[in-house]
Each structure stands twice: as C-alpha cells, then as structure tokens.
Amino acid sequence: MNNLIEKVNQKLEEYMDIRYPESIFNSMKYTVTLPGKRLRPVMCLEACRIFGGNIEDAMPIACAIEMLHAQSLIHDDLPCMDNDDFRRGKPSNHKVFGEAIATLAGDALLSYGPQLIIEKSVNLPPERVLKVLREYTKIAGAYGLIAGQVVDIESEGDESVKNAETLEFIHTHKTADLFRLALKSGAIIAGASDTKIQEMDDLAQKFGIAFQIYDDILDEISTFEDLGKTIGKDKASGKLTYVSLYGLEDSKKKLNSLFAEIYDIIDKYHSEILKNIVKQMELKIAK
Amino acid sequence: MNNLIEKVNQKLEEYMDIRYPESIFNSMKYTVTLPGKRLRPVMCLEACRIFGGNIEDAMPIACAIEMLHAQSLIHDDLPCMDNDDFRRGKPSNHKVFGEAIATLAGDALLSYGPQLIIEKSVNLPPERVLKVLREYTKIAGAYGLIAGQVVDIESEGDESVKNAETLEFIHTHKTADLFRLALKSGAIIAGASDTKIQEMDDLAQKFGIAFQIYDDILDEISTFEDLGKTIGKDKASGKLTYVSLYGLEDSKKKLNSLFAEIYDIIDKYHSEILKNIVKQMELKIAK
C-alpha cells in the first residue's frame, strides 16, 4: 500500500511539470500534490493488478483520477460554491492563486487528465483507451460528479427534498463515481470482461456510499486538527448528510452493514490492499 | 454555408437534451445554443469535406468545438475573470443561472464534448478518434486556450510585457487554437495525411490571428447594438490588443496582408465556404 502511494506520488510529480505560463501549472500542481492517501489511484492500480494487468499501464488513468479529484476540490472550495479557505490543512487553491487562476486550474485539470491518458497509452489497444476515456468523460461531467454537486447545492435550502433518495443521488455521483471510475478503469486497462467490470462498478457503489457515511461521521466527531479542513460546516449550513438524516448511531449501523457486504466482495478477489483500506476506515470509526 | 449552420444548430439542439438535474443542462444549453455564426463547427465540417470525408462523421467533433467555445465564454464572463454581464446581446450565463451553476456548466461542457465524440464515433477507426481527442484535450487545457487566457489576465496590469510577442502568444492560444482544432480535426476525421493536417494547422494560425485583429478593430469602431456585447472595455481596462499596440490603420494593413496569405492557401483547396467566411470579414472592415 505505502509502496503504491509512493509510486503514485512520484508519477504525479513527474506529470505536473511546470511550463509557461507558470502560475497555471503551479496552481494545478499545488492541489494535485497536496499530501493525501491517494485512495482512488491506489484502488485503480489494484483493480488492474487483480485482473492480471501491468500496473504501469494503469498509472496515467490512476493519476488522471487524482487530478479529477483535485479539480473537483478546487472548484468546490471557490467562494461561489462552498467558500472554503482550507483543504487538507493548507489554504485552498483560490486563497493562494486567486479566484481566476483557481477556476482556470480546475478547467485545465479536466483536460490534462485525458490528455495524459492518450499520450502515455500509445502501446495499449486504442479500443481500451477509448473505453477508459468514455468512463472518464461521463463521470467528470453532468452525468457524474457535477450532477451530484448540483443536487447537493440545490438541496441545501430546500427542506422538501431532504430525503434518502436525494442523499443517495448526491453521493452516488459526488462520491461513488470517482471510486467507480478508479475500479472500472483499472479493470478495463487489464482487459477484464464486461461482467467483471460490472462487479467493480457494484463494489465501487457500495464503497463510495460507505466512504461518504464514514466522512459524515468523522465531520461530526472530529476537530479541525484531525481533518485539516473546516469542521461542522455541513451542520451549520443545514446540509443534508447521513448523520443529519439518520442520526449518528443509525449511520454507524448502516456503515457497518455496508462494510460487511464490501468484505464479501473483496474476499473473492483476495485483495489485501482493498481489505486494508476498508479495515482502516472501520478502525477509525470504532475508536 | 447557411445550410451547414442550420445542420449544426439542429445537432446542437439534439445533443443538448435536458436531463436531471435540469438546471445544469439548461445552463449548458443556454450558452451553447445562443445564436451565432457557428464559424468553428462550419470550418471543421468544411475541412472534413475538403479531404473527402463524410461531414456527418465530423458532426460530433464540430459540435464539441462549439461547446468548448461556449465553455470558454461562460468562464471568461465570470465576475472573477472579465466580469461581463452580456454575451451575444443576452445576459451572460452567470447572470441567468448564478455563479455556481455557471462555473459547473463550463466544467460539464469540457467533458461533454469528448463524451459525445466517443459515443457518436463508434463506427470510425479508434485511432482516428483518439487523434482527435488528443488535439481536443491539448487545446482545451493549459497547453492551449487556458495558456492564452492566463497570459491575457496577467499582462493586463503589467506594462513591461505589453509587446508583440505577448500579444501573439495570447491570440495563438486564446483565438487561433479553436480554429486550429476545427480545421485539423475535420481533416483527421476525413483521414487526411499528416502533411495536409499540418497545412490546416498553418491556415488556422493565420486565420486565428486575422480573426483577432478583425475583432479588435470591430471593438474599436462598433457600438453595443452592433456586437451584442460590452464595447470599449478592452480600451478602458488598458488591455493589450492589436489596435492598442499598432494603432487602427496599421492593424488594418496587417489584417489585409494576412487576408492575402489566407486566400492563397484557400484557393488551393477550392473552398467556397472558407473563401466566403474571409470575404465577409473583409467587407465588414472595409465599410
């Protein structure tokens, strides 16, 4: 696991080289290389390994997913969205580079990921590269992440839509979709069958929802120092979360039942890495 | 020409269908379908025809270029960028949908174009589709349009960089790159040779710079009613333009000499459509 994180960090450093005009490349690099657990790229590489692929082949898409994740963080933090001044314990992108450059850095990351995938995958079957790009573009746009973000924003002031269905839609797209892209694209690069790709899709959906419940619980029980971002904002703004909808105890129950389902799937694939990721979440909540 | 514009408008209408959550799709559609001359998609289709391709095959990339153009307009108009309230005579996107949705609509368009290209080109050779996507992603990002926009923003307050080299860099990327994408991708879809694709690149570079000089001259000599956007802002903000650097008369001379070079290239390809586009620009300036 640590070995994979290190590999991903090295590649991100390599890919995010600084060109003219430097401000935009510095701004892109700033958020992409913030220290993090690199969960999504690691899961992408692991899915590739599970299905017999060479993880080096999955490295461009793994890094592109981290860039897409960074893009969504940069734009979510903007004053016109969540207006957040901190991210992973550091000033958010627009606090360092200004709003104009931060907006453009997010835009640039949306294209740079696919550009890398194409340029670095010249030795892979073009059909496979196109299949990955099809998943990427769908999930990066209004059918994926952005659909989740829009419903999240619009539900904030509207009590009539604060229900389980809305919550599920938001986090299927805002959270699960990036894990879906990670596990599916790793499997695609390895040449897995459509049935196996679909199994990764199901696993990612369960994992994504579990991850969001976990995140909502942490937001409820942690401090700024623990998480490195503004805490309790969701509660203060009356945002729809698992904890606000189900309460802390029922959220924990829901999470544990999802963990059980996820372990069942992971065990079939004998993946120590995926198992460890879930185990660490379980331990953190149990504390 | 009018026939092609009509075809493009029909396809844009078809592609921009409204799904849940409606606000984001409405916002995307609003700017993409604003009335316009559809110069870029028409030039893409014409390049495809010139090299013996079927223009229906180039329709997804032609429309994706119009979406990319709309994306750049939406984000350029944001308060943190040019802060423009009007575009093509209508309120700009964020004035209608708010800043958050406008930001997300721009983001979504950046992925929706490539998504369409992939989904609608299943009968084309995958290598050709990847080649088009490689051009698209490079030009949409920090190696293309965004590089131009960043240098444009940063040169505004800095007298020391207000020179011909900066101006050329800005408009090679901010303006010529979209025409480059249009002509090159049309040629790629038709299966043109790399030499021919390079010729289209050269033509697009000349055309793009001519188009920008033309635009700067119009901004100097027109009224709001003529153009449907705020006029004289460039001058008021001390922005670097061809007219501010060379003066009105020398800009016109430079433009006419570019027109002559462009006609030389176009004549080789016997393209009435490209010729008409340039002719109309020439007539408008001569008035």
pLDDT of residue B85: 94
CATH code where residue A10 lies: 1.10.600.10
Q: What is the pLDDT of residue A64?
A: 98
Using the Cα atoms of residue A42, residue B126, residue A203 and residue A115 in order, give the sign of their dihedral.
positive
- From the list B107, B141, B147, which residue is nearest A21 (CB)? B147
pLDDT of residue B156: 86
| Closest residue to B110, CB basis, from A110, A127, A129 | A110
How many whole angstroms separate alpha carbon A6 and alpha carbon A11?
9
The span from the CA of B69 to the CA of B76, in Å, is 11
DSSP structure class, residue A163: S
Interface of B with A in 139-198 (CB under 8 A): 140-143, 146-147, 149-151, 153-154
Q: What is the pLDDT along chain A (287 residues), one digit of tens a residue?
A: 789 999 999 999 999 999 999 999 999 999 999 999 999 999 999 999 999 999 999 999 999 999 999 999 999 999 999 999 999 889 999 999 999 999 999 999 999 999 999 999 999 999 999 999 999 999 999 999 999 999 999 998 788 888 999 999 999 999 999 999 999 999 999 999 999 999 999 999 999 999 999 999 998 888 666 656 666 666 666 788 999 899 999 999 999 999 999 999 999 999 999 999 999 999 998 87
**Is there a contact between A178 and A41 (Cβ–Cβ < 8 Å)?**
no
Burial class (CB in 10 A: 0-12, 13-18, 19+), B59: buried
**Domain that residue B44 falls in:** 2-286
Q: Pick from B40, B39, B9, B12: which is nearest to B25 by CA?
A: B12
Q: Supply the DSSP string of A48-107, one letter for each residue.
A: HHHTT--HHHHHHHHHHHHHHHHHHHHHHHSTTTT--SEETTEE-HHHHH-HHHHHHHHH
In chain A, the residue whose alpha carbon lies closest to the alpha carbon of B142 is A108
What pTM did the predictor assign? 0.95
Enter the ipTM: 0.95
Phi, psi (5° rounding) for residue B87?
-150, 125
With contact defined as beta carbons under 8 Å apart, do A91 and A39 qualify? no
* Distance between CA atoms of residues B191 and B204, nearest Å: 18
**Residue of A130, A135, A166 to mutate for B, most B C-beta atoms under 10 A:** A130
Domain count, chain A: 1
Distance CA A23, CA A65 (A): 22
Q: Is A22 within 8 Å of chain B by CB?
A: no
Task: Give pLDDT, residue A162.
Answer: 86
Pick out chain B residues at pLDDT < 50: none
- Tokens 């080789």 correspond to B268
Q: Copy the structure tokens of residue B111.
A: 């992925």
Q: Which residues of A touch B112 (CB under 8 A)?
A: 137, 141-142
